[in-house]
Amino acid sequence: MAFWVAHPIVIVMLVFLSNKQNLRVFACDFFQGNWVAQDPSYPLYDPTTCPFIEREFNCQKNGRPDLSYLRYSWHPHGCNLARFDGGDFLERFKGKTIMFVGDSLSRNQWQSLTCLLSAAVPSAKYTVERLDDVSTFTFSDFGVKVMLDRNVFLVDVVMEKIGRVLKLDSIQSGKHWKGIDMLIFNTWHWWNRRGPSQPLFFQYIAISESLHCRWDYIQVGNQTYKDMDRMAAFQKALTTWAGWVDSNIDPARTMVFFQGISPSHYNGTDWNEPQKKSCLGQQQPLLGSTYPGGLPPAVAVLKGVLSKIKKPVTLLDITNLSLLRKDGHPSIYGLGGRTGMDCSHWCLSGVPDTWNQILYNIVLNH
């Protein structure tokens, strides 16, 4: 029997070509770049005609007078970001289910994706249903479901005799996530909120989201605490979630993403405008690539947990690009109007469309 023996030079060339091919796929960091103003091809859909945008994200309908925030496009350094193609996305996911799992920032991204897809196929039939905390948007012509599981902490909040208990090592709600074709997780928004230190917006919406966001005690194993270091609690909860992923996800069936830490803009000192106490009146992003105030500490905690997970999870590392968009929040043009300053969520159309555009580009390169 004859054997083919490769010459060492040939082997080196094959490895080089293989590495070069990998570089073409993975070398572009979609999350490092800058915002470009007045792109005539933006926004990616007309927010006045998308029927799925809830009031808190519908800045134009709520009276925001400036429109420049709609026309910024994200340009990664050293490569091109393919424009979101809703028709192609639906074809790729025909017969499949996508689920966002997280707090209202997940809802922000979920509504963005439904608008992007419906704008691509405006005549397609769809249904929208909600059962308990799970909302399902179905494109029946494609058999595509885009779901949202409203889950603030990922780990469980259980009502017991002593009150609501946040259980950092329990994740029974994971039963909703099994068998999904694409999962996009998110949590952080509520981990560091407490009492009167909350921005006015959070005090305003606490009434409507109290069942999901409030807890009276924290439990770890058999130990129950009135409170604990929130960053440590966040890390413990993420570790529990990571264990769930390792135990339950089949990478051959399911793509898993984690929406990175979505930032807020309540302190102008962070973007070199110390006289500003909120995002109110901001009409343009920072046009460089670096945010003066640096990254939130939660980013390091999240990346630390993801570095130890065994199953493949892709981080949608949207923190820095979103930090640059101090102009992208509803401010007084959100749910609370002038009684609630929202510098945490994002107008639609807006920044979450770019999160979904990057998600689409990662799918193209998968």
Task: Report yes or no on 4 lying in a domain.
Answer: no
Task: Report yes or no on 232 lying in a domain.
Answer: no
- Which entry of 149, 317, 342, 353 is annotated as an active-site residue? 342
In this prediction, residue 199 carries a pLDDT of: 42
Residue 365: band (very low, low, confident or very high) from pLDDT cuts 50, 70, 90 = confident
Task: Report yes or no on 213 lying in a domain.
Answer: no
Q: What angle do CA 240, 103, 282 make, to 5 degrees?
A: 130
Task: Report yes or no on 265 lying in a domain.
Answer: yes
Check if 149 is active-site.
Answer: no
Can you tell me the distance from the alpha carbon of 263 to that of 275, in angstroms, rounded to the nearest whole number? 19
Task: Report yes or no on 205 lying in a domain.
Answer: no
In this prediction, residue 314 carries a pLDDT of: 97
Give the pLDDT confidence of 59-82 residue by residue, as tens digits.
999 999 999 999 999 999 989 999
For helices 351-364 and 104-120, angle between their N-to-C axes, nearest 10 degrees = 70
Question: With 90 as the cut, is the pLDDT of residue 336 above it?
Answer: no
Phi first, then psi: give them for residue 183, nearest 5 degrees.
-115, 130
Q: Contact at 8 Å (CB) between 326 and 271?
A: yes
Mean pLDDT of 299-311: 97
- Which entry of 104, 106, 262, 344 is annotated as an active-site residue? 104
Q: What is the pTM assigned to this prediction?
A: 0.89
Can you tell me the distance from the alpha carbon of 85 to that of 44, in angstroms, rounded to the nearest whole number? 10
Q: pLDDT averaged over the chain?
A: 88
Task: Report yes or no on 22 lying in a domain.
Answer: no
Residue 337: band (very low, low, confident or very high) from pLDDT cuts 50, 70, 90 = confident
Check if 345 is active-site.
Answer: yes
In this prediction, residue 28 carries a pLDDT of: 81
Q: How many structural domains does the chain have?
A: 1
List, in sequence order, every residue forming a beta bridge with 165; answer none if it has no partner. 158, 217
In this prediction, residue 212 carries a pLDDT of: 59
Task: Report yes or no on 330 lying in a domain.
Answer: yes
Give the pLDDT confidence of 204-248 residue by residue, as tens digits.
444 444 455 788 999 999 999 999 999 999 999 999 999 999 999
**Residue 222 is encoded by which pair of tokens?**
């058999």
Can you tell me the distance from the alpha carbon of 156 to that of 152, in angstroms, rounded to the nearest whole number? 9
In this prediction, residue 342 carries a pLDDT of: 96
Share of the chain above pLDDT 90, in %: 77
Mean pLDDT of 291-306: 97
Mean pLDDT of 132-141: 94
In this prediction, residue 270 carries a pLDDT of: 97
- Could you tell me the residue range of the domain that residue 360 belongs to? 38-149+178-188+252-365
Q: Which residues neighbour 273 within 8 Å (Cβ) at sequence distance 6 or greater?
A: none
Can you tell me the distance from the alpha carbon of 305 to that of 60, in angstroms, rounded to the nearest whole number? 38
In this prediction, residue 20 carries a pLDDT of: 35
Among all chains, which residue has been given the structure tokens 């560091």? Answer: 192
Can you tell me the distance from the alpha carbon of 108 to that of 160, in angstroms, rounded to the nearest whole number? 31
In this prediction, residue 27 carries a pLDDT of: 60
Check if 342 is active-site.
Answer: yes
Task: Report yes or no on 116 lying in a domain.
Answer: yes
- Which entry of 156, 327, 345, 349 is annotated as an active-site residue? 345
Give the pLDDT confidence of 79-119 residue by residue, as tens digits.
999 999 999 999 999 999 999 999 999 999 999 999 999 99
